[in-house]
Amino acid sequence: MRRHAVTTGWTLAMGAMALVDVGLIMLGMLAGLFTIVGLIFCFPPMIKLIRRRTALARRLTGRWLGAEVLPPYLPPPPPVRPQPDGWYRYQRQLYKTPWWPEWNNRAKWMFADPGTWRDAAWLVLNPVIGGSLVLLPVALIGYGVALPWLWAPQAAPLGVAVAALGIAATPWLLRFYGWWNKLLLAPTARSVLAGRIRRLDQVRLEAADSQAAELRRIERDLHDGAQARLVAIGMTLGAVEELVDKDPEAAKALLAKSREASSTALTELRDLVRGIHPPVLAERGLGDAVRALALDSPLKVTVTVDLKSRPEAPVESAAYFSISELLTNAARHGGAERVWIDISGRGRTLRVTVTDDGSGGADPSRGSGLRGIERRLAAFDGVLALNSPPGGSTTATIDLPFALAAAQRDTPSMPKWMYAVVGIGWCLGWLPLFPQGIVAMILKIVGTDERSWFLALYLPEPLQWPLIIFNIFLGMTLYGLAIGLPLAYSRKQELCGSSL
């Protein structure tokens, strides 16, 4: 009962908002008229006002449907940068300050964004569709309560039944209204792809910077390590050439030192190669590479691996070096003694969980190691979730979506029940909407005695209007399902296909 009372309250609130939207539509038309005559400053504030209204509708829709509805807008334009001479350019004009170029770019972005016009379409249709959907149960409840006074006291049971029908239909109509909002206000495939492209551009720049830093590190290690030792070995061998005839014993001692230096240089080169891409990772895979890493660690490390397929080499490398960095942090900063590493696959997602018994307090904002892990994972849409309370254990979870091979890449067809609903909607939607709904409503308004086969006109007077309204609503619902279900399913498949 409490649920129905809450949904009835939401219905009244949505009906009031739908009536308020009428005033917002008139204000938008006035702003559009001012924009046409040259007062272009009216356009951006009006768009911001409409977006705030649709943002509220998205939040409420996500609450009703149990799924978040994200904004559909294209990414905003980047900030304007000055030219070498200090001026700011917009097309062929130059400005001393960035205000005008920023304003022009944002106005153009708002005007060219399809999400702006979808918001406008929703705003125009919401008073009609939203108002009729959410106010229909309220009308049924009010009609049922007033039925004994309009007809006869004996109609009280019938009025209670009509009011109960309105109360019972409220959650379903509210959910259908949420589905309608989602159909118009949810992101399109284009806006999702535009956001992903922009994020990939940012990730590409970060990956390029990270790669350049890695190359500089390798160059520094070669220059200061193996290269210096090889130069020293060459100089020692030159001294051996001079002493081999004069002082054979000294030459033998220098040769021994050269052999030790060459062994040290070889070890450093192997460590450097292992830091670039460990051979065991390329040959044995992520699980065995992490086990080998655990054997070299001073900590007691337990490794659990449950992978049915092997990730791609770049993903394996990113996961391996992320685990290596987390082990180093646990030993150097966390004061841990034991570490548990779990590597598993959930669908196409590779998940790595690293837990230690250290002192906690890890914060990505205070160190470059965890930030480096985040940048490394971002190149593969991966994320790092860290739980490290001060004085407690640290748990780091790495998720790499779409890292594992899919078992089947075929796009599934629309379910059979959707085909059945679409067929019923197209075949039977006309019957309650037109002859039993709209035509019967016209005859009822005109007041003709012609009843023909219009079923609502054969009922008692108090029941005719409820049945006519119900028939119109039923026909609109059937046609809405017949049109909306294939569109929603195709958009879902586009979004799923674009993420593969």
Tokens read off for 467: 């049945």
Q: For residues 220 and 58, what is the distance between their CA atoms, to the nearest angstrom? A: 53
Q: For residues 373 and 376, what is the distance between their CA atoms, to the nearest angstrom? A: 5
Q: For residues 26 and 19, what is the distance between their CA atoms, to the nearest angstrom? A: 12
Alpha-carbon distance values, 252 to 242, 243, 257, 263 (Å): 12, 9, 9, 17
Please report, as a single letter, which amino acid is at residue 57. Answer: A
Task: State the pairing for strand pair 93-95/88-90.
Answer: antiparallel
What residue has token string 């195709």? 490
CB 323 within 8 A of CB 331: no
351: which strand partners? 344, 399
Tell how far CA 207 is from the center of its chain. Answer: 21
Phi, psi of 135, rounded to the nearest 5 degrees: -90, -15
Q: Average pLDDT of each block of 10 consecutive residues along the chain (500 residues)? A: 64 75 87 81 86 88 75 82 83 83 86 86 83 70 72 69 74 76 78 73 72 74 77 84 82 84 79 71 88 88 89 87 88 87 89 90 74 82 87 89 64 76 87 84 78 78 80 82 80 56
What local confidence, expressed as pLDDT, does residue 401 receive? 87
What local confidence, expressed as pLDDT, does residue 274 receive? 63
Other beta carbons within 10 angstroms of residue 62's beta carbon come to 16
What local confidence, expressed as pLDDT, does residue 354 receive? 93
CB 190 within 8 A of CB 114: yes
What local confidence, expressed as pLDDT, does residue 130 receive? 73
Alpha-carbon distance values, 273 to 228, 231, 261, 265, 268 (Å): 17, 20, 18, 12, 9
Coil, strand, or helix at residue 209?
helix
State the DSSP code for 225.
I
What local confidence, expressed as pLDDT, does residue 253 receive? 86
List Cβ neighbours of 434 (8 Å cut-off, separation of 6 or more).
475
Q: ∠ CA 151-154-159 to the nearest 5 degrees?
A: 70
What residue has token string 């989602």? 182
> What sign does the CA torsion over 272, 273, 276, 280 have?
negative
What local confidence, expressed as pLDDT, does residue 65 receive? 65
Tokens read off for 450: 């012609």
Tokens read off for 57: 């509708």
Coil, strand, or helix at residue 157?
helix
Angle of helix 43-65 relative to helix 156-185, nearest 10 degrees, comes to 120
Q: For residues 63 and 56, what is the distance between their CA atoms, to the nearest angstrom? A: 11
CB 183 within 8 A of CB 484: yes
Q: What DSSP letter does each residue of 14-62 carry, written as one string?
A: HHHHHHHHHHHHHHHHHHHHHHHTT-GGGHHHHHHHHHHHHHHHHHHHH
What local confidence, expressed as pLDDT, does residue 103 receive? 86
What local confidence, expressed as pLDDT, does residue 409 receive? 46
Q: For residues 457 and 441, what is the distance between their CA atoms, to the nearest angstrom? A: 9
> For 20, how many CA atoms within 13 A lie in the half-sphere containing its CB?
8
What local confidence, expressed as pLDDT, does residue 303 receive? 93
H or E element in which residue 240 lies? helix 227-246
Closest CA to 118 of 62, 74, 151: 74
CB 75 within 8 A of CB 198: yes
Q: For residues 121 and 128, what is the distance between their CA atoms, to the nearest angstrom? A: 12
Q: For residues 452 and 153, what is the distance between their CA atoms, to the nearest angstrom? A: 30
Angle of helix 156-185 relative to helix 131-150, nearest 10 degrees, comes to 170
